Amino acid sequence: MFDSTMLIRGEYFRDSYLLRLEFHAGGVYEYRLVPPSIFESLKEADSPGTYFREHIADRFPCARIR
């Protein structure tokens, strides 16, 4: 669970470097090849939405799953 106006929740699968994010605007997306350090930093960010835009969006292969 994130304290964010953009993100609802995130789940990280270390064995496959897969990050799954659910957004308030709708949709659940999976980001592949995400290092564990990126997810840890996202969880600790003062603004998870800003961190997402600066470090995840358009930087990792992504697919909408819902």
Predicted structure pTM score: 0.94
Per-residue model confidence (pLDDT) at position 1? 82
For residue 1, being part of any structural domain is answered with no
Q: Using one digit for the tens of pLDDT, what is the confidence trace for 7-63? A: 999 999 999 999 999 999 999 999 999 999 999 999 999 999 999 999 999 999 999
Tally of structural domains, the chain: 1
Residue 2 within any structural domain of the chain: no
What domain range includes position 13? 7-64
**Long-range contacts, 59-66 (Cβ 8 Å, 24+):** 60/19, 60/31, 60/32, 60/33, 60/34, 61/31, 61/32, 61/33, 62/29, 62/30, 62/31, 62/32, 63/29, 63/30, 63/32, 64/27, 64/28, 64/29, 65/20, 65/28, 65/29, 65/30, 66/27, 66/28
Q: Within a domain: residue 54? A: yes
Tell me what pLDDT residue 4 has. 93
